Amino acid sequence: MQEFPKTVDFIFLNTPIGEEYSLKGLEVEGEIPADMRGAFFRAVPDPAFPPLYEDDTAISGDGMISRLWFKKDGTVDFDIKYVQTPRHKAEVKAGKALFGRYRNPYTDDPSVKGVDRTVSNTTPIWHAGKLLMAKEDGRAHRIDPITLETIGSYDFGGKLKSETMTAHARVDPETGELFFFGYEADGLASTKVAYCIADKNGELISEQWFDAPYCGLMHDFVITENYAIFPVFPTTADLARLKDGGVHWVHEPDLESWIGVMPRYGDVKEMHWIKGPKGVSVFHFMNCFEDEDGRIHLDQHLTETNAFEFIRRPSGIDVPQSEIKGGLVRWSFDPKGDEITETPLGPPGDLCRIRDADQGRPYNQGWYLSMNPEMKSPPLLGGPVGAAFNALISINPQTGAIEMLPLPPGHAISEPAHIVSSEEGHPGWLLFIIDRQTGENDFEHEAWIVNAGDIEKGPVAKVKIPHRLRPQVHGWWAPQDQLDKAAAA
């Protein structure tokens, strides 16, 4: 039998587990808030078979849907299952990997030519009573939120034309609409982007296509009350390179970034492109809003180059992970302007969270993951970029005021979910998984609950998860009343 490569993508925390399991009535230390009832869905890449290529990346692993369920009776259950993608099913049938490099079908075994190769491993999206597992290279897969069985590839009842759907969708807190896009919408390395809106009932009510300035990695986008904003950063795809069996992405330090701005209910013909700095990279936007003067402010985790080593390496960019500079920065611009002003807001990091109610609006609190500045020992190896975050930050993006929950050495932290409290004026709760190293290749895992308004106090409750976990990418909280409503529908 073939073995997994001994690279950071497949060892330590990133060791593949490949097991579906359920754990009922988990042990809890402390007290779970009485108003925290619902499901924390998590997307976990976990390759079922050793990859065809030694230099494969952790983020090409088969998607698993995981759920930490805070049940009405106060108990907590854990479940995890593979997303039954056509790709996963084909490989299980063959008993080995058949799909090749990250987003390059020309490197696949000929027996799977034409088979949907998305791994649905990036974000669980809960909207209008439906649970989707999305990855930006294909359409999402719909999942039953109770059984975690895969229902199938999801095309909004036959309406979606785009072949792809981003893992980062935005829900407007007032209208309940789901805003999303798909890039490489009609095929590999294409500049076509589909901009879509589903109404609060999940009906696809708008899909418009436009051309990006070049085929760039468009991982996330933002909405404000009046605008849809599509940033493009210079990590690019090229069809000839793909046909040659090469990598999907190369980062281009000398190429400009762009921001496309259009009225969010407007026509894509109104798209206005603003030129940004060369060579920079962003995966996630914390939030975006308009001020009283109509100026737009976009808060984002910027890095001076691409944050993924598996992209830098074939780009000839030789910067170790620990030396990548960046920060939480604000880009301010006028919707019809041609200049961007950059303001630093906070230390480097990623995996931000805001209150759902603050989406696209002026806001005064956000949370994200960073590195503990006091830490003498190196971070744990693992997670999507190979070095795990070990501190939680709460930031007031208006004042720059920061609070931090640094974890002790040998700890890693995953993206938090924010859960609204039913208590008037209460800041709500943050819920996240932490990993603790207990031996060279031994780890313990817990879910921590902290008061979102006082993270420095540490967890009010810890839920023990007595089983190895592979690091998640993104998560999504679905309140119990919404799950009940969906089950009854």
Residue 121 binds ligand V55 (CB under 6 A): yes
Q: For ligand V55, which residue of 14, 84, 122, 287 counts as binding (CB under 6 A)?
A: 122
Residue with tokens 């939480």: 328
Confirm if 40 and 67 have CB atoms less than 8 A apart: yes
Residue 39 binds ligand V55 (CB under 6 A): no
CA dist 282 and 302 (Å) reads 5
Q: How far is the CB of 420 from ligand V55 (least distance, A)?
A: 26
Residue 283 binds ligand V55 (CB under 6 A): yes
* β-strand partners of 77: 69
Residue 32 binds ligand V55 (CB under 6 A): no
Residue 59 binds ligand V55 (CB under 6 A): yes
Q: How far is the CB of 61 from ligand V55 (least distance, A)?
A: 8
Confirm if 450 and 430 have CB atoms less than 8 A apart: yes
Residue 281 binds ligand V55 (CB under 6 A): no
Residue 42 binds ligand V55 (CB under 6 A): no
Give the residue with the Cβ less far from ligand V55, 192 or 248.
Answer: 248
Confirm if 274 and 340 have CB atoms less than 8 A apart: yes
Confirm if 229 and 259 have CB atoms less than 8 A apart: yes
Could you give the C-alpha distances from 472 to 61, 132, 136, 278, 482, in angstroms and in order? 11, 16, 16, 31, 23
Give the residue with the Cβ less far from ligand V55, 127 or 219.
Answer: 219
Residue 83 binds ligand V55 (CB under 6 A): no
CA dist 476 and 478 (Å) reads 7
Contact track, ligand V55, 441-480, x by CB under 6 A: --------------------------------x-------
Q: How far is the CB of 473 from ligand V55 (least distance, A)?
A: 4
CA dist 446 and 326 (Å) reads 29
* Amino acid at position 392, single letter: L
> Of residues 240-269, which lie at the interface with ligand V55 (CB under 6 A)?
none
Residue nearest to ligand V55 (CB): 59
Confirm if 171 and 184 have CB atoms less than 8 A apart: no
Give the residue with the Cβ less far from ligand V55, 53 or 199.
Answer: 53
Residue 104 binds ligand V55 (CB under 6 A): no
Residue 352 binds ligand V55 (CB under 6 A): no
Residue 135 binds ligand V55 (CB under 6 A): yes
CA nearest neighbour of 196 among 210, 213, 212, 178: 178
CA nearest neighbour of 363 among 330, 385, 318: 330
Note the residues at the interface with ligand V55 (CB under 6 A). 45, 59, 121-122, 135-136, 219, 283, 384, 473
